[in-house]
Amino acid sequence: MAQALRLGIAGLGTVGVGVVKIIRRHAELLTARTGQSIEIVAVSARDPNKARGVNLSSYMWETDPVALAKRDDIDVFIELMGGENGPAKTSVEAALASGKDVVTANKALLAIHGQELAEQAEAAGRAVRFEAAVAGGIPVIKSLTEGLAGNQISRVMGVMNGTCNYILTRMQSQELGYNALFEECAKLGYLEADPNLDVGGIDAAHKLALLSSIAFGTKPNFDGIQIEGIQHISLDDIHQAADMGYRIKLLGVAQRTPRGLEQRMQPCLVPSDSPIGQLEGGTNMVVIEGDAVDQIVLRGPGAGEGPTASAVMGDVCDLARGLRIPTFGRAATSLEEAQPAQTGTPAPYYLRLALLDKPGALAKVAAILGDAGVSIDRMRQYAHSESTAPVLIVTHKTTRSTLDYALNGLRDTEAVAEEPVALRIEQV
Ligand code: NAP
Ligand code: HSE
Distance of CA 228 to the CA centre of its chain: 13
25: amino acid identity, one letter: R
Residue 384 has pLDDT above 80, yes or no: no
Distance from the CA of 163 to the center of ligand 2, in angstroms? 6
Alpha carbon distance 323, 318 (integer Å): 5
- 83 band by pLDDT with thresholds 50, 70 and 90: very high
Distance from the CA of 84 to the center of ligand 1, in angstroms? 12
Closest atom of ligand 2 to 163 CA is: 5
Ligand minimally distant from the alpha carbon of residue 84: 1
Whether 397 sits among the annotated catalytic residues: the reply is no
Query: What pLDDT shows up at residue 74?
Result: 98
Is residue 185 lining ligand 1, measured as CB closer than 6 Å?
no
- CA nearest ligand 2 atom 7, residue: 303
Mutate to test the pocket of ligand 2, among 109, 163, 211 (most ligand atoms within 8 A of CB): 163
Domains in the chain with CATH codes: 5-133 (3.40.50.720), 143-302 (3.30.360.10), 349-425 (3.30.70.260)
- CA nearest ligand 1 atom 30, residue: 105
What is the secondary structure of 252-302 as a DSSP string?
EEEEEETTEEEEEEEEEEEETTSTTTT--TTEEEEEEEETTTEEEEEEEE-
CA angle 110, 135, 26 (to 5 degrees): 100
Residue 357 has pLDDT above 90, yes or no: no
Residue 90 has pLDDT above 90, yes or no: yes
What is the secondary structure of 240-253 as a DSSP string?
HHHHTTEEEEEEEE
Distance from the CA of 61 to the center of ligand 1, in angstroms? 16
Average pLDDT of the residues in 168-197:
93
Is residue 308 lining ligand 1, measured as CB closer than 6 Å?
yes
Query: What pLDDT shows up at residue 358?
Result: 87
Average pLDDT of the residues in 395-416:
96
pLDDT digits (tens, 9 = 90+) for 220-274: 999 999 999 999 999 999 999 999 899 999 999 999 999 999 999 999 999 999 9
DSSP-derived letter for residue 59 is S
Residue predicted with more confidence, 230 or 357: 230
Distance from the CA of 14 to the center of ligand 1, in angstroms? 7
Query: What pLDDT shows up at residue 1?
Result: 59
Is residue 302 lining ligand 2, measured as CB closer than 6 Å?
yes
Is residue 12 lining ligand 1, measured as CB closer than 6 Å?
yes
Is residue 302 lining ligand 1, measured as CB closer than 6 Å?
no
Q: What is the pTM of this model?
A: 0.96
Is residue 46 lining ligand 1, measured as CB closer than 6 Å?
yes
- CA nearest ligand 1 atom 38, residue: 303
Instruction: Show the DSSP H helices in 321-426 as ranges.
Output: 361-372, 400-412
- CA nearest ligand 1 atom 25, residue: 14
Closest atom of ligand 1 to 303 CA is: 40
Distance from the CA of 126 to the center of ligand 2, in angstroms? 28
Helix (H, G, I), strand (E, B) or coil at 376: strand
Is residue 34 lining ligand 2, measured as CB closer than 6 Å?
no
Is residue 50 lining ligand 1, measured as CB closer than 6 Å?
yes
Query: What pLDDT shows up at residue 296?
Result: 97
Ligand minimally distant from the alpha carbon of residue 92: 1
CA angle 402, 408, 414 (to 5 degrees): 135
Tell me the percentage of the chain whose pLDDT exceeds 70: 99
Kindly give, in sequence order, each residue whose CB lies less than 8 Å from that of residue 275, ignoring residues fewer than 6 positions away.
285, 287, 297, 299, 428
Tell me what the pLDDT averaged over the chain comes to.
96
Q: Which of 70, 207, 219, 364 is catalytic?
A: 207
Ligand minimally distant from the alpha carbon of residue 282: 2
Is residue 62 lining ligand 2, measured as CB closer than 6 Å?
no
Alpha carbon distance 131, 329 (integer Å): 12
Residue 50 has pLDDT above 70, yes or no: yes
Helix (H, G, I), strand (E, B) or coil at 233: coil
Is residue 162 lining ligand 2, measured as CB closer than 6 Å?
yes
Closest atom of ligand 1 to 193 CA is: 3
pLDDT digits (tens, 9 = 90+) for 19-35: 999 999 999 999 999 99
